[in-house]
Each structure stands twice: as C-alpha cells, then as structure tokens.
Amino acid sequence: MTLPNGWEMVVGLEVHTELKTATKMFCGCANAFGSEPNTNVCPVCLGLPGSLPVLNKMAVELAMAIGVALHCTIAPSTFHRKNYFYPDMPKDFQISQYDLPINSRGYLDLPDGSRVSVERAHLEEDTGKSTHLGGSGRIHGADRSMVDYNRSGVPLVEIVSGPDIRSSAQARAYASELRGILIATGASDGRMEEGSMRIDANVSVRKSGDPFGTRCEIKNLNSLRSLQRAIDYEALRQIEVLEEGGTIRQETRHWDENHGETSTMRTKEEAEDYRYFREPDLVELNPDQGWQDRVRAALPPMPAARRATLEGLLGEVTDAQRDAIGTVVELDLDDYVIAAADAKVDVAVAIARSANEIAADIENVSKLSVEAFVNTVSLEQKGELSATQAKKVLSVLLESGGDPASIAKSLGFEQMGADALGDLVAKCIEENPSEWQRYREGDEKLSQFFIGQIMKLTKGQANGKAVIAELQQRK
C-alpha cells in the first residue's frame, strides 16, 4: 500500500516468543501448551510466599542462539522486576531484563535485501492466561475471571527492532523472516495461533525527511495478516488526524480483528509506573566465552542461507520459484529438494512439488520419505507418470506412505504402453484432419489441442511429452 500525499510510515516491532524449553524459566514445572489448567504449577511459578527463582540454563542457551542468529552482541546481563498488579501475574511483578539485556545491537536482513536493526533481544517470564466471562471480555466489568497459571513463568525472549520499517509489507516480511529464524534456531515453534509468538507494533507517520512523529503501540496482533492490516489501518488513521489539523497522542491501542480497526487502550498519562529495580533474588548472568562459542557452533543454517543453497541448485530463478523456495524453507522441506538434486532429478519440478503438493498436506509430511519423493519426481521426469498422476501419487504417499511405483500401479497409472498411446494418437489425427494439417505446416500451438484430445480420451493419464513425441514421429 502506498501512503497518500508524501506521507511515510515509521514502524518498529516488539516480538515476544516463548522458548521451547522442557521446563519453565525459574522452576522445574513443565513448559507445555494445552495441559489441564493449573496443573503445571509449583510454589515458584505461583509466586507463593518464600519461593525463589532459579534461572533455567536452557532458556539462556536458546536466548543466546537467537542473539547469535540476529548478529547481536552477547553481554553480561541482569534481571529486573517490572512491578504492576494483575491477577495473571502471581508475584504482581514480572522478572524481565531492563538496562542490561543479554543480547543487544543486532540486525536482520530481509529477502528483499533491506536490513532492519535489532536493538535488543532480552529474556523475561510469561504471565498466566486470563479468561474473563461476561461484560466486554476485559477484566473490568467481567462477571467472573479465571486464570490458568500453566503459562506463568514460561520463558520468553522479546526481540525489539529499531524504527527502521517503512511499510506494512516490510513489517510482515520482517516478522515472517524472524519467525523462520526462531524456528531454525530451535528456540521457538513460532505458532502465532497458540500465542507462542506475539507481536506489538509501534507505528508513527511523517512526511519523508521530517523527524519521527508521535508513535502509538498496537497490541493483540496474533497473525501476520493482522499485523499488516493493523499497521495500514493505524498509519492511515494517523494521517487523517494530522491532515485535519489534529495531533497524535502517544498511547497504546488495541487491534480489533473483526472490525479491522484500532482503538485506545490507555494513554501515556494512564501508563503504569513499573518501578523497575534490580531483581535481588537473581545474580548477574554472565555466560562465558566457551559457552557462547558452543551455542554459536551448534547453530544450524538460517533460512536466508538455506534459500541461497536451493536457489544455487536452480541456476536461474524466476519470481515464482523464489516464492516456492521461500515456502520450502519455511516448511523445512529442504531435504526433499536437495535429495532430488543429488539424484540428478529435475530440481525445478522437485521445488514445485514440495512447495505445492507437500505444503498442501504438511501435517502428514513425516509419512513421505525423501526416497519416495525423489522416485516419484523421477518417474514424472522420465515420462512414466504425467504431472497429474505424479501429484496423485504424492497425495497417496502423504496419506499412507508406501512405494511410488506400486501406488501408481494400484491407481491404474501403469504407464500406457507406447503402442497403445501411438494407436490413440493415430486415431486422433484421423478424426481431426484439418488440425493435423495445420500442425504439420508448423502451427506448434496445435500440439496442445492434440494433448487435450488425448487427455480427454485417457482421463488425464497420458503423458504430455510422450504425446508430443508421437506427433513429431508422424509429422
């Protein structure tokens, strides 16, 4: 979307990601989504009097992995208490990092070549989850509120970008690329729908070249689509206010997905004074160089590097293929494509089949062995299966696994013998003399006409390339 009248948006994102540790950040309770409410709890994560936090080593390791992947400086850091009252926060303070975060000053390169700075990526604990019944669905005015403390104390990393983003599409690309990195590092499962990755957007507008305008922070962005829509809505709202001679108030706004608009949650004057101070129950966190080096060495390739690898297998890359490669990497299907390349099978077909057919049934990907995939694409390339047939074989493989050749046979895809196809082609030529005449005179487009006729007769089971070969023979 282009903004009107020379306006430019300035966006910074705060991305919260839950870390995929076995246990919580400061106690031994399971870090698991979807358990019976209030079953993964203990004196520490319930904030019972006398309990004390002990930092989870794995959480530190995953936070460092994120820092390394985002080119951050890892430094000695401390924990602070962020004090405010809310029923889903058992201690009525959140343990977070403040002036000395574990990771600072990094960056993230986007697929379009732009670079977004990362100011910090710090550790903090999650709160419990509230459900408000009755009223507006918020705590005030609710008939009754319920809290599940299973999420209380789950480790989070908050990744804060610089105000470098200039469009909602770029914001989306940043969030998407970051999500890929979080998954690749093993730090997070990136499931936005389960709340394991949550985004707040800081949005302001200005005329290009002017100083930054007053920003508003938008909360409750639970999908990449919401993120993009909310930023566009908010930028246009601010422009409208300013063009009518108004001013923007610094405030926190809530995104309403159903109505597609943002509304005021609280103004700057109503903002809490969090009274941050050093958490006296925890000591300084100072990961030694050896530990940092081990985390760095154990880090697998990031999405950008993996995309480059796959693009390298193609040589020349179309935009559609670039998108398909993005999907392959996002869904972690690189192995299928690389195995196809190793087997000297058509990489372009392997990428297309991965990005379309496997992607369509990604929940079942574990049933499709790399070998079966390569064999299927190979049969297609050799002309023993049509594209339609190959897709069908893949869908059966994803459903129940098995051997591609046997599946093709059981589906009746056993390659039509060259004789049978030859007979059909001959019949077609006989029935369509004028088209045959024009084809013979050089109108190559008519090959598609004959392929269509043959497909009709064979219910789509013929191989297009084989049909052309038969036509050529008879020219």
Partner 1 sequence: MKHAVDIAAAVNAKESSASAELQSSLSVIEEKNGAINAFLYVDTDGAKKFAAEVDARIANGEKLPLAGVPVAIKDNLCQTGVPTTCSSKILADWRPPYTATVVERLLAAGAIPVGKTNLDEFAMGSSTETSAFGPTKNPLDLSRVPGGSSGGSAAAVAADMTPISLGSDTGGSIRQPAALCGLVGIKPTYGLVSRYGLIAFASSLDQVGPFAKTVADAALVLEVIAGHDPMDSTSLPEPAPSLVAHVNDGVKGKRVALVKELYEGADEEVIASVKAAVAALESAGATIVEFSIPELRLGLSAYYLIAPAEASSNLARYDGVRFGLREQGSDVTEMYEATRTAGFGAEVKRRIMLGTYALSAGYFDAYYGQALKVRTQMIKAFAKAYEQADMLIGATTPTVAFEFGSKTSNPMAMYLSDVFTIPTNLAGDAAVSVPFGTGENDLPIGVQILGPGRSEATLLAAARVLEIADGRA
Q: Residues in the site for partner 1, rule: CB under 8 A?
A: 43, 46-55, 81, 83, 85, 87, 90-93, 139-141, 145, 147, 273, 275-277, 280-283
CB of 200 to partner 1, least distance (A): 21
Those residues whose C-beta lies under 8 Å from the C-beta of residue 43, and which sit 6 or more positions away, are 50, 51
Alpha helices in 244-354 (DSSP H): 289-298, 303-314, 319-330, 334-342, 347-353
CB of 223 to partner 1, least distance (A): 29
Report residue 138 as tokens: 């918020």
Nearer to partner 1 by C-beta: 287 or 464?
287
CB of 15 to partner 1, least distance (A): 26
DSSP 182-240: HHHHTS----GGGTSEEEEEEEEEEETTSPP---EEEEEE-SHHHHHHHHHHHHHHHHH
Nearer to partner 1 by C-beta: 140 or 459?
140
Nearer to partner 1 by C-beta: 52 or 305?
52
Nearer to partner 1 by C-beta: 82 or 353?
82
CB of 250 to partner 1, least distance (A): 15
Those residues whose C-beta lies under 8 Å from the C-beta of residue 14, and which sit 6 or more positions away, are 158, 159, 160, 161, 199, 200, 201, 202
CB of 266 to partner 1, least distance (A): 14
Nearer to partner 1 by C-beta: 92 or 323?
92
CB of 213 to partner 1, least distance (A): 24
CB contact at 8 A, 197 and 190: yes
Phi/psi at 136 (5° precision): -85, -5
CA 298 to chain CA mean position, Å:
22
CB of 149 to partner 1, least distance (A): 8
Nearer to partner 1 by C-beta: 77 or 378?
77
* Residue whose C-alpha is closest to residue 175's, from 235, 121, 225: 225
CB contact at 8 A, 41 and 48: no
d(CA 334, CA 328): 6
Nearer to partner 1 by C-beta: 133 or 139?
139
d(CA 325, CA 317): 10
Nearer to partner 1 by C-beta: 18 or 88?
88
CB of 127 to partner 1, least distance (A): 12
Residue 385 identity: L
d(CA 100, CA 78): 6
